[in-house]
Amino acid sequence: MVLINALARHNLKSLIWGFVTQTKATVRRGHAFSCTVRQDQLLAHVGGNGLPAQPLFSRKNRNLHKRRAWSQNSAHFGGGGDSRNTCLSLEDVALQIKEGLYRRILVMVGAGISTDSGIPDFRSPTSGLYSRLQEYNLPYPEAIFDLRYFLREPQPFLHLARDLLPGHHHPNTAHHFLRLLNDKKVLLRLYTQNIDGLERAAGIPSEKLVEAHGSFSSATCTMCLKSYPGETFQKAVMESRVPLCSSCGGLIKADIVFFGEQLPPRFLLHLTDFPRADLLFVIGTSLEVEPFASLVYAVPSSAPRVLINRDPVGPFARGSQGLNVLVLGEVTTGIKRFVQLLGWQQELEELEKNGKQT
């Protein structure tokens, strides 16, 4: 009798599972995309009495989420946000952060986070940096970051550097949000394409920061490779002098990565950071410059990816689906919306207040 009951339960379970795996529900979110959700996930929201149970990603259901994440990660490591069985919202992400389910958050940022600090991005048609370089009579816009051109004509870059040196601009809401992630001890690492140093100014510790395209914090002679503190280069620039090496007379260049140069050694941290990430934010970047752009694909397939950006880019071009979440529009507006969902408004306002006083 025990054996018969066990077989009956097994057959019933198989029948239900077969029905679940054959059934799909399409959930409409907003008007820009559709998201396919398997029926078994819809059932996860309903208790045995037919009443709503805990949200799928609540603390009480975290083991379910971890089992799925492990199976997805084992089957297909890398790619990030690739789960086709889940339709995640920004509210879901905020809830999971508040409940402590994400402890290894990676962030990738570009020039779009600094525009509210008065620094132009590179590719905006009218206000972007490349559109403002005509005054330098460059042979082509990218020449301002071309090492061979810099060695012949250093003045255009030195003139541009005056506006980018630390102290000329101040962190904005986006930078303070990144500082909050660090203060909450959930920031694994921040990878930035920016050379403005505003992440440092916001209080992000050096060990949590990877400045993929370099910074003004140090400088190097282009001939003898003698190292200099960043202040040496900065002082010469502010005095409208060409910075020259005291040893060989060569041209000193800030340790900014020009086209064709190798990225800083710290960039290799991505080899161990991204496989460990449980959540990725991509903020204010066009994802057009390699190898930085490819990092978005390096997180586990179980890790959600959240884009806060003016336009959909890279893997987000198909809209919000699976574990990809899009927040389109002005970066600061998107950040404030997310901070409100987290309930961190007061702490953010305090950081902004202190930032204005310094």
Catalytic residues: 213
Cβ-contact 156, 136 below 8 angstroms: yes
Cβ-contact 315, 305 below 8 angstroms: yes
Residue 87 assigned to a binding site: no
Alpha helices in 144-262 (DSSP H): 147-152, 155-164, 173-183, 198-201, 230-238
3-state secondary structure of 48: coil
Rg (CA), the chain: 24
- The CA-based dihedral angle spanning residues 36, 41, 45, 49, taken in that order and rounded to the nearest 10 degrees: 120
Residue 35 assigned to a binding site: no
Q: Which residues contact 55 (CB under 8 A, 6 or more apart)?
A: 45, 61, 92, 95
Cβ-contact 327, 339 below 8 angstroms: no
Cβ-contact 191, 270 below 8 angstroms: yes
18 φ, ψ (degrees, to nearest 5): -60, -40
99 φ, ψ (degrees, to nearest 5): -90, 5
Annotated binding residues: 221, 224, 245, 248
Known binding-site residue numbers for Zn(2+)? 221, 224, 245, 248
